[in-house]
Amino acid sequence: MFDFDATLPLMAVQFILLMVVLNAILFKPLTKVIEDRSTLISNSQTGAKEGLEQVNAITQQYEKALIDSRRQYQSIIAKAQAEAQKTASEKIAAAQAEAVAARETATRELAAQKISAMAELEKQVDSLSQEIVNKLLVGV
């Protein structure tokens, strides 16, 4: 069982030969492809990171524009509201003034008619009382 002979050095030589062959056909190419792949992956990772940063910048820009436009339209709305308010109040004031004027003329006309009617009535009262007097006096 423990019989050492020329097998030992020959095995050592064979192993070294195997190592050289495997280094040439297995370890070198595979190491190369593994390291190539890892550099490729890290490159595309940095690329993706840059793209992400770009996207972030664009998003920020867009959000800023959004806020700006929101502010703008809010001011437009406020302006329009103020204008509308102004027109409405002007119109209301005009209408009120018109109504007041109409009421005054109506009151004045009414008063004039009342006066004329009173005068008429008085006149009639006079004539009637005259007649009554005349009739009474005739009777007497």
Among 18, 99, 117, 125, the residue binding another protein under the rule CB under 8 A is 18
Give 3 or 137: the residue with its C-beta nearer to another protein.
3
Q: Three-state secondary structure along 90-122? A: HHHHHHHHHHHHHHHHHHHHHHHHHHHHHHHHH
Binding to another protein by CB under 8 A, coded x per residue (else -) over 29-58, reads xxx-xx-xx--x------------------
The one among 5, 136, 137, 139 contacting another protein by CB under 8 A:
5
Q: Which is nearer to another protein, 39 or 105 (CB)?
A: 39
Phi first, then psi: give them for residue 11, nearest 5 degrees: -65, -40
Please, which residue, 34 or 140, has the CB nearer to another protein? 34
Compute the least distance from the CB of residue 35 to another protein, in Å. 10
Distance CA 94, CA 101 (A): 10
CA-atom Rg of the chain in angstroms: 58
State the Cα–Cα distance between residues 118 and 114, nearest whole angstrom: 6
Closest CA to 76 of 65, 88, 84: 84
**Which spans of this chain sit near another protein (rule: CB under 8 A)?**
1-12, 14-16, 18-19, 21-23, 25-27, 29-31, 33-34, 36-37, 40
